[in-house]
Amino acid sequence: MDCTSVHGILQARILEWLPLHSPRDFPDILTQRLNQDLPHCRQIHYHLSDHFRGEKHLGLQSDLHLSMWSFNHTVSNWPTFSFIGIPGLEAAQIWISIPFCLLYLLALMGNALLLILVKAEHNLHEPQFYFLAVLALTDLGLSLSTMPSVLAIFWFNVHSIGLDACLTQMFFIHTLSSVESGVLVAMAFDRLVAICAPLNYTRILTHSTVACLSGAAVIRGATLVAPLPFLLRTFPFCGANILSHSYCYYPDMLNLACGDIIFSGVYGLVFVLFTFAVDVVFILVSYMKILATVIKLGNQDRNWKSLHTCACHLCTVCVFYLPLISLAVLHHYTQNTSPILFTSMSNAYLLMTPLLNPLVYSLKSRQIQAALRKRFWVQRIIAGE
């Protein structure tokens, strides 16, 4: 059956298909035909686009546009991937870019300010604030890893990225996410020693210990993530290569690969288990031990004040892991998920954590608040003089 026949069948049956298929299935149907006869099947794309110009199917119209764009540029040995952006809101992209740009600026400025405070204030030269500095540095890396592709979509309508650039971005995103999880474990260990073994705190949490724990988090992340790009390079990408995020994400790219992806999928699962799952268990056990110690010592104010110092870290843990878990759930049930919700959660996963961590510590940590007041008070005096 040639493409002209397929075009006629689609034109006759398109209204009958609507109740039976999700609108997001049509790019896959189009992809199958394009794989067989790309030059002549373009008329199918234009016909489908004409039928789905209404607001109800703006998301599909975007998918069709991206699928055709991808095929016009990726029929080669070097595949190109297309970012979906925010389906249905293409006309408002320039306006949507304003809050995104502001959020990125706030994340960069907030984490940079934390680094400056920890370096400049001698009162903050303690293990817990050294870990906070490593966390801020990791958040800066995460923001800088995703910002170019996200803002390129909104500002310049650039929806494409090459394979090498995509793999590089994916490597840094997953490595830095793993490092951040490891730093959260180190911070939980710091609180565990401070509350459960306060007399040994200075002996255990030395500068060398802080450096070793931070270095171990970086080495673990880089070592476990390093095979992921090489695994993806072994696969051909023979479809439309439309990514469901505004950045390159391993499960997303693996779903687009052609061939036997069982081993790569299992390795991805092992990576998650040996990083995030193990880290969550350690953090939970640490705080159970901390709570048991505080209760055992009795209802003394200093004990509960010690427990209050853990509030910042608990908030940071929630800010990091809740979007991560939510995104994993959405990936599992992606067929029933609104495209706008899916895209919003994927952006929140890597944007909210760098944005909220400085705010959490600014509002909860008395030492950080004192350092901020001191710095701004000095600046006001200098400005007045």
Lowest-pLDDT choice from 41-45, 109-113, 265-269, 366-370: 41-45
Q: pLDDT for 223-272, tens place per residue?
A: 999 999 999 999 988 777 888 888 898 988 998 888 889 999 899 989 98
Query: If you search the block for the tokens 């298929």, which residue do you land on?
Result: 21
Mean pLDDT, the chain, rounded, equals: 77
Q: How confident is the model at residue 352 (pLDDT cuts 50, 70, 90)?
A: confident
CATH number of 91-384: 1.20.1070.10
User: Across 77-81, 249-253, 296-300, 324-328, which has the greatest mean pLDDT?
Assistant: 249-253
pTM, two decimal places: 0.76
User: How confident is the model at residue 338, as a pLDDT?
Assistant: 66
- Looking at the predicted structure, is the pLDDT value of residue 108 above 50? yes
> Each residue of 59-78: b (16+ CB within 10 Å) or e?
bbbbbbbbbbbbbeebeeee
User: In this structure, are residues 96 and 86 in contact, taking their beta carbons and an 8 Å threshold?
Assistant: yes
Of 30-39, 136-145, 215-224, 252-261, least confident by mean pLDDT is 30-39
In this prediction, residues 323-352 reach a mean pLDDT of 72
Domain boundaries, the chain: 3-83, 91-384
CA–CA dist 24, 242 (Å, integer): 12
Each residue's pLDDT tens digit, 110-125: 999 999 999 988 888 9
